[in-house]
Every structure is written in C-alpha cells, then in structure tokens.
Amino acid sequence: MHSALVIALMVVSARPNSTQAQLPPPTPISTPTPSPSPTPTAPLQASTPPFHTDEVGVSYAAVTLSATGGVQPYSWSISAGALPDGLTLGNDGTVSGTPTSAGNFAFTIQVADSGGSTATVSGKVGIAAALSASIIAACARACQVEAGCVTVCGNFGTISGGVGPYRVTATGYVPPGTTISPNQLAYTGTFSRPVSYWQSTVTVTDAFGQTASISPIFNVFAHISLSGSATCFASFYITGCTAQLPYSGGTPGGTPSVKITSVSGSYCPPPNYTCQPSSSLPPLFSASASGGAVHVAIAPVPRPGYAYRGTVTLILTDQNLCAAGSYCASGAGTFTIDIQLG
C-alpha cells in the first residue's frame, strides 16, 4: 500500500507543470484575397440591315436587327413612329409580316438590355399598292382600229400599283400584224387583215411576281377606200349638176371628211366668157361624204352664168388615227366638172 502511493506520487511529479509547458506556435491567420473588379461592359449598340420596299399582300422578306454590348438579354420595341400595317417586331428583333396598306412609313426601333441601357436605330419602309390593271372604256366594248394602220389606239389600259419593272404578255387572239408591248398595255405594229373582232388576255407581272389581267377587244375594220371617177355635167348652167362616187371601209357609222387635193380646169366668167386656166374650185361647188358615197354638186347659177370645164381630185380622211398624228386616208377619186353655157 505504501509502495503504491509512492509510485503514484512519482508519476504525478513527473508531469510537467501546466504553467511551465511549452505551447505550440500559433497558426498564422490568412488575410482573405479581395475579389477582382468586374470587367467593364461594352456600350449597348444596335444595328440593322437595310429595310426594303414591299407591296400590299406580298410577304415581307424578314429583316433582323442585332445588338452588341450591354447586358443580355435584350428586349426590342418601337419607340417612335410605326411599322407598316401588317408588319410586326418580334422578340428577337425581326421585322416580318404581310403589309395590308400602302404608304411610306418611318419609325424608330429601340433595344434595351437588362442593365437599363438603351440604343436605337431608325428605319423607313415604302409599301406600294397592290398591282392592278384597268381597261379603257372604249376597249372594253371594242377599240376601233382601221386595217393598215400602225400602232394606234395608244394604250388600251393602264397599270397602277405594284413595283416595276413590269412585264406584259398576251394570250388569245392578238390582232394580226401586231405584238404586245413588253412593258405597257398597248399593241405595236401594223393592224392587218383579216378584218375581224379580236380579244386577248393581257397579263401584267411586276417585280414581286404579282399579276393582274384584262381582256381588251379590238375591232379591226377595212381601211377607207375611194377610187374611180364621176362626171358632174350640166348642159345648161342654170340647172347646176350633181355626181356621186362610192367609197368603202372606214369607221363603221362614221362620216369621213373630204379633202380636195388638186383642181385643174378652165373658167369662163361673164360678161365676155373668155376662158382662162384656173386652179380654183368652180363657183358654188360643194363636196361631202355620207351613206357610203362622195356627193359633189354645182349649185344653179342665174344669168349671167359661167362656163367651167376641169377636174377636181379629192381624198377622204377618216376619223381614226392611222399613226401618231396621222389620220386614215383613202386613195384619190376624181370628178370631171363640165358646166356649159347652154
């Protein structure tokens, strides 16, 4: 028992005094490394390809705007003006749709980033009216054209709307001797026989591939014709004289005008009735055309009378243009005038 206590005391005495024990060196406290400053963001900018023209009813080829810099995501909006009716601005900055009304439209498109910055671009879009073709009233019934005439009637229709250049084609019964103008509603060339009514379908195609059609009717009638001769004779001056010379063709139901082209004769006036050459028409001469004939007359002349012998040459001019600035004309007819003294 005693020996055990001694051992315990020896053990206790062998432990170092806690106040004298060597403590381990303190662990150094590390200072936190500061976070790096955020990289500066590039300024927000917006850009767009060119906006292009379009036509009512034609799908607009999409134009996509783009943005750089700022803080994504971006949002797009119209900040001023308006897009053409029927076009919209998508969430991705794409302008698309089908325009429904014509006009010139100006607008400003804004892009905003998630950091509150904004940028804008301006645009203009022209929208043409839908393509259409209309026929002139005369050609809806029948454009009257005289055979042998060149490029007459002018345009038989008009083109409106659409976007040029235009391409014009014709199918059906095109008047012989003519071709359709490639870019306007007109036939070019010489209208030839056979005389007949001709109707064709004429189609206009514009730069967007849109089409419009009309169906003009042409009545190609026979060219006015006058030839031959007739004599206006009076054996007594006091009776006067009349003569007729038939003509054919010309404007149906029309009345051509008479044009004197030459006069050659001898005029024997009172009181001595001495005859002398004359290039003037006989006194009281008249000429007109109606009912398919040219009518010539010398009115009676009371005493003292006169004598006249000569030839009057004339042509007929129709009421239809035969070429630019030129009306349809006939060949020549002649009238022999023979007014005697009695």
Q: What is the DSSP string of 50-116?
A: PP--EETTSPEEEEE-EEESSSSPEEEEEEEE-PPTTEEE-TTSEEEE---S-EEEEEEEEEEETTS
pLDDT at 306: 81
The confidence band for 27, taking pLDDT boundaries of 50, 70 and 90, is: low
Share of the chain above pLDDT 90, in %: 68
Q: Is the pLDDT of residue 216 over 90?
A: yes
| 157/200 Cα distance (integer angstroms) | 13
Share of the chain above pLDDT 70, in %: 87
pLDDT at 89: 98
Q: What's the Rg (C-alpha) of the chain?
A: 51
Q: Is the omega angle on the peptide bond into residue 252 within 30 degrees of 0, that is, cis?
A: no
pLDDT at 28: 59
Mean pLDDT of 292-297: 97
| Mean pLDDT for all residues in the chain | 88
pLDDT at 18: 45
The confidence band for 40, taking pLDDT boundaries of 50, 70 and 90, is: low
Question: Of residues 342 and 171, which shows the higher confidence score?
Answer: 171
What's the pLDDT tens digit per position in 118-177?
Answer: 999 999 999 999 999 999 988 888 888 999 988 887 789 999 999 999 999 999 999 999
End-to-end CA distance of the chain: 204
What's the CATH superfamily of 132-221? Immunoglobulins (2.60.40.10)
What's the pLDDT tens digit per position in 249-274?
Answer: 998 888 999 999 999 999 988 888 88
Q: What are the residues facing 213 on neighbouring strands?
A: 203
pLDDT at 195: 87
Tell me if domain 132-221 and domain 225-339 are identical in fold: yes
Check if CATH label 3.90.180 holds for domain 225-339.
no
Statement: the pTM of the whole predicted model exceeds 0.85: no
Q: Averaging pLDDT over each range in 178-182, 191-195, 317-321, which range is the top one? A: 178-182
Options 2.40.70.10, 3.40.50.300, 3.30.70.360, 2.60.40.10; which CATH number does 45-128 get? Answer: 2.60.40.10
Domain coordinates of the chain in residue numbers? Answer: 45-128, 132-221, 225-339
The confidence band for 307, taking pLDDT boundaries of 50, 70 and 90, is: confident
Helix (H, G, I), strand (E, B) or coil at 338: strand
